[in-house]
Structure 1
Amino acid sequence: MSDNNRQWIFLKRPQGTLTEDIFELRQTAIEKPKDGKILVRTALVSLDPANRAWMEPTPTYKEPVMPGDVMHGFAIGRVVESSAEGFQPGDVVEGMLGWQEYATVPAATVRKRNPRHSMENLLGVLGITGLTAYYGLLEVAKIAAGETVVISAAAGAVGTITGQIAKLKGCRVIGIAGGPEKCAWITEGLGFDVAVDYKSADFKADLAKAVGEGVDVYFDNVGGDIFEAIIPHLKTYARVVACGTLTDYNDAEPQPGPRGLQIACVVKRLRIEGFIVLDYMATWDKAEEELAGWIEAGSLKPPVDVREGFETLPANLIGLFKGTNRGKLMVRIAPVQSA
C-alpha cells in the first residue's frame, strides 16, 4: 500500500456549466485510522447528477461541498485498516468516501455490504440507484398493472432500472431518451415498450402518439421542457414522481415554468411528490433482496458504464451532463478485488 493519497479538491463553485478548472488534483499522506475510524481503499466512485447539486451553497439533503474540501462523492471499496469494532481488513463498505484513493472515515458513516454481489452492482442497482427506482415506483407512485408509465432520462442510471421494474409490475412503459441509438437500446435491450427521442424535431408529436390515451405515472428525472411537454398528457389523478432536475443543475439561473402546471394540478387533481431514498433506509435490506432476486432470475438487467482511472473523474462528471453515459456511470480507481 502506498503512503500517499491522491485527492480531487473542489476549488470553487461553478458558474453554470461545469468545467475541469473547478477541481485540483492533490497528493497528501494517508491518515491512519484511530478512535473508531477505518481506512478504506476506494475501488469505484459513483458519478451522479447530485454531485452538481452539492456544489451549490444551499444545503440539500446534505451539507454542500465547500471550496477546499475533497470533492464529495459516493463510493465503494475495501477496508485496509480498522480501529472500529465490527470492521476487518477486506470488508466491503460503501459511503460518502469522496473523490480520493484512500478514505479515513468514522465507521458509523459507512455501510458494510455483502461481498457475494459485484461491487458494480452494489454501487448501482443494489445501491442508491436501484433503490431510488424501486421506492419511487412502488412507494411514491404505487404503480399498478396496466398503467402507462413515462420515464425521462430513461437511458440513465435510475431511468434504466425504473423502466424495467415498471415492466416487471405489468405496466406499459415509455422512455424518453436522447438520440436514436439510446432509444433503440432501451427498447431492444431493456424491454421498454416505446422510446421517444427528445432531441427530435418531432418530439412533441412523437410523445403524443406514444402516450395514446394518457399517462398514469410520470417519473421525472429532468424537469424543464420535457416535464412541460408531459403535462397535457397526464390523466386525471395522475402521479408525478419528482426524482431529479437534470436540465436545471448547470443553469446559472433557475428556469421558468413549467407552464400549465398549476391549472393542470387543479383540473386533473394531480399528485406531485418528491422523495429522498434515505427516507426508506429501514427497509433497504428487503428491497435489495428483491432487486437481487430479479437480477438472478434474469428479469432485471443492471446496465453499468464503468470508466477507468482516478484522473478521469472531473471529465466523466462533465460528460454525465452531456449524456455520454448509458446506465449507471462510475469510475474504477482500483481493482475491485484488491484490499
Structure 2
Amino acid sequence: MAAKNTQVLMKQHPKGGVTEQDFEIVEREIPKPGPDQVLVRNIYLSLDPYMRGRMDPVRSYAAHLHPGDLMIGGTVGEVIESNVPSLPKGTYVNGMLGWQEYGVAKANELRVLDPKVAPISTALGVLGMPGCTAHYGLMEIGQPKPGETVVVSAASGAVGSVVGQIAKIKGCRVVGIAGGKAKCDYVVTELGFDACIDYKAGDMHAAFKAATPERVDVYFENVGGEIMEMVFGRLNSFARVAICGLIAQYNGQPYPFTGMRHVLVNRAKVQGFIISEHMSYWPGAITEMGGWIKEGKLKYREDIADGLRNAPQAFIGLLSGRNFGKQLVRIGPEKL
C-alpha cells in the first residue's frame, strides 16, 4: 500500500473558466475505517460537468465546495480493509469517494459491482449515473413515441450517446449535435443516429433545419446557449424538453435566451431534473441497459486519463469538449 493518500482539493473558486491553479494536490495519511466502514482503494474516478457548478459559491440543488475541500466525484474501487462482513476484502464497489486514492465509506454508501457482468468502469458511465440520467430524462420526461424526432446535444458524450441509442431502440428518428467531424461520424456510423450536426462546421442553423424536416418532438438538453436557442425554434406542438445540463454556460458566460415564446406557442413541456433525486429508478434502468449491451444494441466509449494528478487537466478538457466519450481518470490498476 502507498504510504500516503494523494488528494485533489479545490484551492479557490474559479473566476470564469476553470484553470489548473484552481486545484491543489496534497498528500495525507491514508484513512482508517471505523466501525461499520470499509477502506477503498480507488481505481477509476468519474469526471462530470456537474462538478463545475459545485465549484461556484452560489445556491444550487447541492451544497457548493469551499476552498480546501476535496473535489467531489464518483469512484469505482476495491475494498482493501473491511469492518463490514457483507463487504469483504477484494469486493469491487462504486461510491462517491471523490478525487483521492483512498477513501472510507459505510455499506449503505456503496454499490457492489460484479466484474463478471460488465467492466467495473461502466459503473461510472453507461451503467451508472450518466446512463441512468439518459434513461430517466428520455423515458420519464421525453416520453418518446415511435416515429418522433428526438434531438440530443453533446451527442457523443456519456449521457447524450446513451440518449440517442435508447431513442433508436424505441423507434425514433434521432438527430445529434456534437463538436467535430470525428464525433459526428461516430454517433452516426457507430451508434446509429440518423444525423448529427457539427456545430463547429459552419452554418449550424441551416444544417439543423435540413436534418429536422418534421421539426422536434423531444429534446434532451446538455449544453444550453446558442444550441438550445436553435432547437427551441424547431419545437413541435406539445414537444417535451428534458434539461439535464447547460455546460456552455458553466463558466459564467450569460446567454440572452429568448426561446420561451416557442415554449408558449407550442405548449411544450420543459423540465429540469437531477438524477440523484430518483435513486429508486436506477436498478430497473441499469438492468435494462445491461441487457441492451449484451444484445449489442447499446454501445459505449470511454476517454481515460492516467493518474490522479492529471485529473484537473482532464476536467478542464471535459468542460471544453475535448473528451470523446465518458471521461474517466485511472487512479490505479484494477489488480495490485
Contact 2:150/2:174 (8 A) holds in 1: yes
- Offset of residue 58 of structure 1: 2.5
CA-atom RMSD in angstroms = 1.3
The Cα offsets for residues 19-50 of structure 1, whole Å up to 9 and x where unpaired, read as 00111111111111112221100000001101
Q: Which amino acid aligns with 2:6?
A: R
Whichever residue aligns with residue 321 of structure 1, its letter is L
Partner of 2:274: 276
Q: CA deviation at 1:115?
A: 2.9
Deviates further, 283-292 or 293-302: 283-292
Count matched residues.
335
- Partner residue, 2:257: 258
Structure 2: which amino acid aligns with 1:90? Answer: G
Counterpart CA distance in 2 for 1:63 and 1:33 is 25
Equivalent in the alignment of 2:288: 290
Gaps of 5+ in 2: none
Superposed displacement of residue 85, structure 1? 4.4
Alpha-carbon distance in 1 for matches of 2:42, 2:60: 25
Q: For residues 71-101 of structure 1, what are the alpha-carbon distances to aligned partners after superposition, in whole Å with 9 as ceiling and x for unaligned?
A: 1111110111122342211111112111110
Quote the Cα distance in structure 2 between the aligned partners of 1:98 and 1:330.
13
Alignment of 1:1-339 (within 5 A): 1-116=1-116, 117-251=118-252, 253=253, 255-259=254-258, 261-338=259-336
Distance (Å, rounded) in 1 between the aligned partners of 2:235 and 2:74: 35
Q: Cα deviation per residue 1:171-191 (whole Å; 9 max; x = unaligned)?
A: 000000111221111111111
Separation in 2, partners of 1:337, 1:225: 45
Residue by residue, what CA displacement relative to the aligned partner does 1:125-165 show, whole Å, maximum 9, x if unpaired? 00001111111111111111111001101111111111111
Provide the C-alpha distance between the structure 2 equivalents of 1:336 and 1:238, rounded to a whole number of angstroms. 45
Question: Which residue identity does 1:182 align to in structure 2?
Answer: K
Runs of 4+ in 1 over 6 A off after TM superposition: none
- Structure 1: stretches of 5+ with no match in the other structure: none
CA distance in 2, matches of 1:221, 1:245: 5
From the superposition, tell whether residues 110 and 64 of structure 1 become closer, same or farther in structure 2 (CA, over 3 Å).
Answer: farther
- 8 A Cα contact 2:301 2:326, kept in partner: yes
Distance 1:302 1:153 in 2: 14
Distance in 1 (CA, whole Å) between partners of 2:180 and 2:76 is 32
| 1:90–1:61 Cα change, 3 Å | farther
The letter of the residue matching 2:306 is E
Please, which moves more after superposition, 49-58 or 220-229?
A: 49-58
- Measure the CA separation in 2 of the matches of 1:216 and 1:121: 30
Against the structure 1 CA distance between its residues 174 and 324, is the aligned structure 2 distance closer, same or farther, given a 3 Å change threshold? same
Rounded to whole Å, the distance in 1 between the matches of 2:181 and 2:9 is 37
Superposed CA offset, 1:246-304 (max 9, x none): 101112x5x23311x22212211010011111232113212111101000011110111
